[in-house]
Structure 1
Amino acid sequence: MATVHHHHHEHSGDRLIDEAGAVLKDAGEQWTAMREDVFRVLAAQDRPASAYDIAEDVGKARGKRVAANSVYRILDLFVRTNLANRIESANAYLVNTHPGCRHDCVFLICDDCGQADHFDDDKLTGALRSAGSDHGYSGVRPVVELRGLCRECAG
């Protein structure tokens, strides 16, 4: 099965923050200071992060406690608007560095260090959508996670 590669416009730093704000506004949502703070903390992570870890880091940056349930609501909004991806098996989140591009990711997650990478395979995720539809489901959203050891940990 061939992997289909998309040509993403990967963003980082302030450009990523600006793009995320624009995508959220285009979705009819507000880009509040709290949402920006949560996004900045998430974007700074090199591994999937939990809402509790993000709440702690945002709280440190703001100088006051931030409730994890507030962060969960923001993260759910980010997932719905394609600003972040949820790693289901770890109950953790990754920033989407190409928030203007919608596609289904296949995640590769290291069982040792927790590193997560992704690739796109429209043929695979399309087949999963079709299978769901064939079984009477609509709005199917494939969530595909492959677990194993990354190159460094397997090395």
Structure 2
Amino acid sequence: MAAHDHQEHHGTDLAEAAERALVKAGEQWTPMRAQVFAALSGFRKPASAYDIAEAVSKSQDRRVAANSVYRILDLFVGANLARRVESANAYVANAHPDCLHDCIFLVCDACGVTTHIDDDAITRRVRAAARGAGFQPVRPVIEVRGTCAACAGAS
């Protein structure tokens, strides 16, 4: 399996990498964007805009509208700071925002935890197959639904 080599960031290092990537994309790292990113990266599994709005609202002691969070999440996805898990209509922080590539998500139907793996050989083949069918791929979405090792061992 051809794995994609990159540095994964965690904690404050992840927030700093996200800030650098957003500024490099020509955008500002505002306090609200920082709070949305902090909330997103604090979730153990994919979070909806409503989940994130609630977390930010609690941290600010004021209501933050989900539509504001959606706009920020769209910006984050465009700048590679976050990825959208299509089947869950939710988002995960990108642990390596300084590296642009296609992702493969493994989504556990039992607990909802989503694992991100990289395999450039697979995603290149998906893109090539799309082009072979006369289709111009923009962003392949590969999600595998199933049961994670922890949940499989619990049953």
- TM-score class, shorter: over 0.9
What does residue 109 of structure 1 align with?
A: 107
Give the RMSD, CA atoms, in angstroms.
1.1
TM-score for the superposition, normalised by structure 2: 0.94
For residues 138 and 72 of structure 1, the distance between their equivalents in structure 2, rounded to whole angstroms, comes to: 26
What does residue 134 of structure 1 align with?
A: 132
For residues 141 and 96 of structure 1, the distance between their equivalents in structure 2, rounded to whole angstroms, comes to: 15
> What residue identity is the alignment partner of 1:127?
R
For residues 151 and 121 of structure 1, the distance between their equivalents in structure 2, rounded to whole angstroms, comes to: 20
For residues 133 and 7 of structure 1, the distance between their equivalents in structure 2, rounded to whole angstroms, comes to: 25
What does residue 28 of structure 1 align with?
A: 26
Q: Secondary structure of the equivalent of 2:43?
A: coil
Q: Segments of 4+ in structure 1 off by > 4 A?
A: none
Which of 85, 96, 108 is 2:83 aligned to? 85
**1:75 positional shift:** 0.6
Q: Which shows bigger deviation, 53-62 or 120-129?
A: 120-129
> What residue identity is the alignment partner of 1:81?
A
**1:43 positional shift:** 0.8
Q: Secondary structure of the equivalent of 2:117?
A: strand
**1:142 positional shift:** 0.8
Contact persistence 1:133–1:140 (CA under 8 A): no
**1:136 positional shift:** 2.8
Gaps of 5+ in 1: none
**1:98 positional shift:** 0.8
> What residue identity is the alignment partner of 1:109?
V
For residues 57 and 27 of structure 1, the distance between their equivalents in structure 2, rounded to whole angstroms, comes to: 26
Q: Which shows bigger deviation, 8-17 or 93-102?
A: 8-17
Q: Number of aligned residue pairs: give it.
A: 153
Q: Which shows bigger deviation, 119-128 or 140-149?
A: 119-128
For residues 138 and 27 of structure 2, the distance between their equivalents in structure 1, rounded to whole angstroms, comes to: 24
What does residue 2 of structure 2 align with?
A: 4
What does residue 38 of structure 1 align with?
A: 36
Identity, in percent, stands at 57
> What residue identity is the alignment partner of 2:120?
D
Write the deviation string for residues 12-35 of structure 1: whole angstroms up to 9, x where unpaired.
111111111110000001111110
For residues 133 and 16 of structure 1, the distance between their equivalents in structure 2, rounded to whole angstroms, comes to: 34
For residues 48 and 4 of structure 1, the distance between their equivalents in structure 2, rounded to whole angstroms, comes to: 26
TM-score for the superposition, normalised by structure 1: 0.94
